[in-house]
Amino acid sequence: MIRHAVYVEEKGYVYKDEINKDDLNRIVEMFNLEEKNVGDTYTYFKLDSSDSVIIKSFLIDDKNALHIVLFDEINPLNLIKENIFINTLEDVENLKREVEENFNYDDAEEFLKNRQDRSIKDIAYLLLKGEKVTIVDKVENHNKWLEAIYYCFNEASSKNITFTTNPYFKGDVRLYIFDENIQKSSYTFDFKRGIGPKLMINTPYVKFIDSGVYASKKIYRTYMNFMEYFNYTLLDEELNNSYNLFLLLNVPNLINDGVAIKEALKFLLKYIKPEERQAFIENYINSLDLLWDKVNSDIAEEFYLFMFKDIEHKKGIYDRIVSIFYRSYFNILKEIVGFDSAVELFERMLELNKEKPYFKTYVLDKTFFKFVEDFVDLDVANEISLYIAVSCAVSSGLSYIQLKNIEGFNKTLTQGISDRIIKYILDKIEGDLDFAIGFIIDVEGILEAHIIRNKLYEIYKRESSEVKRSIYKRLIEADKKELSFEIFKRGLEESEDAVKYFEEYRREILDYFMEYSKEYLGKIINEYFKSLNRQDRFQEAKKLLFEYIINTSYTINKEAECSIVQNFELGITLENYLENKELIEQVRAIKARKEIKTRIDMSFLDVIYLIDDFSGEDFGELIDEIKYVIKEYDIETSIRHRNIILYKVGKYLTNFEYHKALFDLFYEEEDILTYFEFIKINRREESYKDILSSFIVYYLYYIEPKYRLLNREDKNTEIEDAIINELTTFKSKDLDYFDEKIKETFQNLHLSIPVKWSIILNNTKQRMTLKYKILNLFKG
């Protein structure tokens, strides 16, 4: 839309369309109307409102006049060339509202052709740098210079070149063209006197002016048409990148500078018109194909989005783009620092092309795996190529067996599998159960990674019995029985009810896979018994005795038989011995018949009988025999059983070494007071004073020094207090007996009497004295 306003000095506005009054006032204030305008001059700039404005300054009746034209989307030179401006006040009646859209630059071409200096190149360079330029030349050349300079740039960019030929204009523009030298900028080209800057700078855009403006009209037009693909409306140094891009796509291998290529591609990605993207790719696909090794990681994703976004999935162009992508992607793996970034970039491209099968089938071919061999020395490429192959197979519905049958995949699998890539692959295949199981079983032997077994277990535990059996079938066929066993153990550890879990495992797995069951049942039962408490273990052992051993329809290995029998024997106690006597006899017969050897053989009873048969000669030998039997058969005695044994031997504990032997056999280090409490149940024994004195020696000789070295005086104090309390239950004269026995023992050891014993003895006497005083007080 074109709007007019005509201002005449002393008259004001003689004509005005609907234009903001403040804008008009600011425009008029930019001109020094005190000076008479000489000839017709033109000024072009942009208002803050974003409207463009061009003003013709001239004289009407010897008065300064301004014809102001506001417009948009028009080349300002068209407004001058089509004489849209008035010459007299009468012309106001016939103001033009439309002009031609295209500007004819024939005069500009002729003007430049006749000039053999390089000034136009320097002027263009300075304008791209954002500098202001002044040209001094004859008035008849003013418009020619405007056209020549505009001719050097694409139309959208040239509109940024604001100008004036009016020496009395007070505003700022990019280009000043005068009849005489008036200092308006840092750079002045005075063609009247032949004076001006000699920059001799050879930027890409300067080269364009050399080759396109001066040398070849074909290059000029091709470049200008090329710029129609872009939504570039600025006038700055990025035009250098535009021309580099033009050369990159039209003259292959002319530009080899990495920075220049990178900036050129950035220009492409930043300014390409969305509606022109497809046409651009189709026209330049051959050139883009040559750029696969020029794309770096900084612009990779933008470049791939540009290539894929609007292209239809059809043979030809799309196939070429897919090939460009994979070649470029593997090339930039050399410089991508973050492994995660590489995977995520591929995933975004896979998602972008999810409805385009060729993106994936390109990978699922021996050609791709042959191509990957070019990057065999790059670990990340081997890993990523495996991930890509698996991702594309899963996305395409390919089975793992089908993928394995593609020539080259197995080599990629061996070279690419790693702790780093496996987590991504496992996440990718989790939704495809058949694929996941096949892959996990295959790589489990190649890569020792807990994550693989964890994933297989996760799949196993959440699936149905049928799927669980399928997993086991494939594991057993792949000779991975140990992994099958690991699954059982993991499930057992996590189960809340071990008995229920074992029954389900028998029903779902063991009853179906007899060879596996026969080989691993012993290990399975061992793990199962470990998970149970003593009572449950005994009950389960009895049940399995009937089901697996007494019932001979099952064939189980020797390890399983031993485990069942041994855990049955572990459960036999004095209390249940008679109840299970018949079964015990059966078990003994079975052991003899099948030559089953266990470390138990119900030896708890043997120990009891051993004590009962003791005649009292050398108790040290008895202790050695008890120790031997217990260590030989690895008895897991309960607290009750331990106490029974200790009770039966308590009366013989008259030597401090006997205390040590039994304490070490049945108690933890911190349980000394518990043991002492047990000792006191022998108070009615005639030998109790000797039992107690030998315990005190045991304490003074072994326990007290150790706690003292460990700075555990609190523990010593606690034990000594218990001993003192027990000694106060005796008569005063008995203390002399204890004193004599304890001293005698240390003298026999050739050791001095411990100071601690004196302290204990004195404290005991004091406490007994206090005790008697209190009793007498109550009697009085």
Q: Is the pLDDT of residue 587 over 80?
A: yes
Q: Is the pLDDT of residue 210 over 80?
A: yes
- pLDDT on residue 779: 61
- For the chain, percent of residues with pLDDT exceeding 90: 64
Render pLDDT for 411-436 as a digit per residue (tens, 0 to 9): 999 999 998 899 999 999 988 989 99
Residue 599's pLDDT band, with cuts at 50, 70 and 90, is low
Which strand ranges, in their side-by-side order, compose the sheet holding 187-190?
A: 12-16, 3-8, 63-71, 52-60, 41-46, 163-164, 175-178, 133-136, 187-190
Residue 604's pLDDT band, with cuts at 50, 70 and 90, is low
Q: Is the pLDDT of residue 226 over 70?
A: yes
Tokens 């791939």 sit at which residue?
304
Q: How many angstroms separate the CA atoms of 505 and 499, rounded?
A: 10
- pLDDT on residue 778: 63
Longest dimension (CA), the chain: 152
| Residue closest to 72 by CA, chosen among 93, 91, 44, 95 | 44
Better-scored residue on pLDDT, 314 or 112: 112
- pLDDT on residue 370: 93
Handedness of CA 8, 14, 15, 20 (dihedral sign): positive
Q: How far is CA 554 from CA 170, 511, 590, 759, in A?
A: 110, 10, 15, 69
**Which residues are CB-contacts of 107 (< 8 A; sequence separation ≥ 6)?**
144, 147
Q: Are 353 and 308 in contact (CB under 8 A)?
A: yes
Render pLDDT for 12-54 as a digit per residue (tens, 0 to 9): 999 999 999 999 999 999 999 999 988 999 999 999 888 999 9
One-letter identity of residue 378? L
The whole-model pTM stands at: 0.68
Question: Using alpha carbons only, what angle is made at residue 558 by residues 554 and 563, rounded to the nearest 5 degrees?
Answer: 95
Count CA within 13 A, CB hemisphere, residue 774: 6
- For 729-739, give one letter per residue: b (16+ CB within 10 A) or e: ebeeeebeebb
Mean pLDDT computed over 386-409: 95
**Which residues are CB-contacts of 62 (< 8 A; sequence separation ≥ 6)?**
36
CB neighbours of residue 553 within 10 Å? 6
Identify the H or E element spanning 183. none
CB neighbours of residue 104 within 10 Å? 12
Identify the H or E element spanning 747. helix 732-748
Tokens 């017709």 sit at which residue?
40
Render pLDDT for 517-533 as a digit per residue (tens, 0 to 9): 989 999 999 999 999 99
- pLDDT on residue 633: 47
Q: What φ, ψ does residue 723 adopt, rounded to 5°?
A: -65, -45
Render pLDDT for 133-169 as a digit per residue (tens, 0 to 9): 999 999 999 999 999 999 999 999 999 999 999 999 9
Render pLDDT for 296-314 as a digit per residue (tens, 0 to 9): 888 999 999 999 988 887 7
- pLDDT on residue 641: 59
Render pLDDT for 116-128 as a digit per residue (tens, 0 to 9): 778 999 999 999 9
CB neighbours of residue 612 within 10 Å? 8
Mean pLDDT computed over 74-78: 94
Q: Is the pLDDT of residue 109 over 80?
A: yes
Look at residue 176 and give its three-state secondary structure: strand
Mean pLDDT of the chain: 89
- pLDDT on residue 360: 95
Q: Is the pLDDT of residue 632 over 50?
A: no
Better-scored residue on pLDDT, 274 or 551: 274
Render pLDDT for 421-478 as a digit per residue (tens, 0 to 9): 999 999 999 889 899 999 998 898 787 768 888 888 898 988 899 989 999 999 999 8
Residue 606's pLDDT band, with cuts at 50, 70 and 90, is low
Q: How many angstroms separate the CA atoms of 202 and 219, rounded?
A: 18
- For the chain, percent of residues with pLDDT exceeding 70: 95
Q: How many angstroms separate the CA atoms of 77 and 88, rounded?
A: 21
Residue 735's pLDDT band, with cuts at 50, 70 and 90, is very high
- pLDDT on residue 107: 92
Residue 601's pLDDT band, with cuts at 50, 70 and 90, is low
**Which residues are CB-contacts of 151 (< 8 A; sequence separation ≥ 6)?**
105, 108, 109, 112, 213
264-268, 558-562, 756-760: least confident range: 558-562
- pLDDT on residue 117: 78
Q: How many angstroms separate the CA atoms of 722 and 728, rounded?
A: 10
